[in-house]
Structure 1
């Protein structure tokens, strides 16, 4: 495999900035367990919703939050619900067991099996490499295939290519011949070029990205959604993938489009988390009633003034003053009008969605 050798100054700077945040996380991430739990809850909802929407699912963040709160039902009626449930369980497995999940073909197949465990349509090929061609195809407005966008590996070649990719990744990681962020980027773009499974490759690639980042020591990853960043830049995501993938079989693969996109997404991920941490620090300087309002909204998702009055036990006029301050500061969002007004935290899905 022809790996990248020299990185331009922009890439070196991006890696240095991401690694600086990685080093600071141990100190700046010492929030209370409740606050860390809330950050992780928001990031998980965003990640599950975004990653499945990238592949065509249509569930909103609020619908995903509701579904994740009822995962124990183990029965999901629609394809979208099945994909969300599987993605959430695969993510949870990576978060909880990444120290023991070395990058092996068996673990990749295990994660694929978890990812598709609720999908009846995929039951026959869960955890198994593809047996049929799965080239990336473009469709017209009527759903008719109009041409191959990208030719993936042939089924016959897939086991060999996956063995080579995993071996290269493990060797590069052990020898530290490349920076771990570059190793992760190369693994993902090559994995998606192989497209080893009949379905679920895009979702699995993002699960594997999280696994590789956690194993490389980027412990803040569960608290900020990389999937949300990718969804917000989906057109650039596909363009960067294709520009690099179409060169992989040549003598000089062009790694820069994908590595550049990947590093810029990681920068946006850590920038978003840093902004949230700064808001958490600002909260400590708020009046006590304001902190109680935020805590109540974290617990319930959305509340009216009457409900806040009952929960907090203070008078309505004081609540109105504190709510106006929180809304003006962007720490709370107001929804609805007049008697139908209710409040929620920004970025945190609430039952029923936005007004």
Structure 2
């Protein structure tokens, strides 16, 4: 799988083919599924591809992919579009958003469509940025927003009435959702890079500071989770749980870390006294 993800974002000038997509899907399933029979490395079979739920005694079809009779034509059109040097002279990020929606709507495989689509989206973004190296993960951001992801897809892809089928699909809401999630992914990437830099600087500053193993453990936890956890600092109770020590020992450790310049005491006091990393 890792090899596949690396391959997806390499040779960015090389056109994709149907075989490329099939190879990516096959890489997701290196061993046959024991729970169900899947077509691996080939397009899906003749069975209808639907996302269905039941409400009371009624079956609700949330999404229906193109029938097998149209699949090849739809996939050919998508691949031709994706391989254009500059499709409709659109921005590369908008191109990536459209590519994602288009391929996931075609749903060309029995299984693994989401992962193949995210891989292709990574390739589109890499092509726009002209590099295979990125410090953010769109897939992780989509996973964090999984509920809204499926909701927006259902709204855009949802089975249409006969009147709606005569109209073009408006994908503005999808583009906006994609841009918001991508921006969030980039912000998280910047935060991770900042954490690595700050942690490195912190330990360079304290390379000669004598600390216990438990103090090292807590400091690394604070450094690794900066911006995500302990946003209001750490108090003696949280230190006690992290280091598995008594409340009295936790208080002494925190006081010592302040005296050694590792932590700084935040405004406030008493039993709720909190501390943060001193960079």
Question: What's the TM-score once normalised by structure 1's chain length?
Answer: 0.55
The equivalent residue for 1:263 is 179
The equivalent residue for 1:196 is 108
Structure whose residues are more often helix by fraction: 1
Q: Unaligned regions of 5+ residues in structure 1, if any? A: 1-86, 293-313, 340-355
Show CA shifts across 1:56-112 (max 9, x none).
Answer: xxxxxxxxxxxxxxxxxxxxxxxxxxxxxxx444323324x3436522222112211
Spell out the pairing of 1:235-254 with structure 2 (5 A cutoff). 235-246=147-158, 249-254=165-170
CA contact (8 A) 1:98 1:211 kept: no
**Alpha carbons of 1:223 and 1:328: their partners in 2 closer, same or farther (altered >3 Å)?**
closer
CA contact (8 A) 1:169 1:187 kept: yes
Greater radius of gyration (CA): 2
Q: Unaligned regions of 5+ residues in structure 2, if any? A: 230-238, 247-279
Deviation at 1:220, TM superposition (A): 6.9
Deviation at 1:262, TM superposition (A): 0.9
Residue of 65, 77, 82 corresponding to 1:169: 82
Number of aligned residue pairs: 228
- Once residues 105 and 120 of structure 2 are traced to their aligned partners in structure 1, the CA distance between those partners, rounded to angstroms, is 15
**Alpha carbons of 1:277 and 1:112: their partners in 2 closer, same or farther (altered >3 Å)?**
same
259-268 vs 249-258, which moves further: 249-258
CA contact (8 A) 1:289 1:322 kept: no
SS of residue paired to 2:201:
coil
**Alpha carbons of 1:288 and 1:237: their partners in 2 closer, same or farther (altered >3 Å)?**
same
- Once residues 4 and 55 of structure 2 are traced to their aligned partners in structure 1, the CA distance between those partners, rounded to angstroms, is 32
**Alpha carbons of 1:106 and 1:274: their partners in 2 closer, same or farther (altered >3 Å)?**
same
The equivalent residue for 1:225 is 137
**Bigger relative contact order (CA 8 A; separation at least 6):** 1
2:149 is aligned with 1:234? no
Deviation at 1:269, TM superposition (A): 0.9
SS of residue paired to 2:67:
coil
**Alpha carbons of 1:283 and 1:336: their partners in 2 closer, same or farther (altered >3 Å)?**
closer
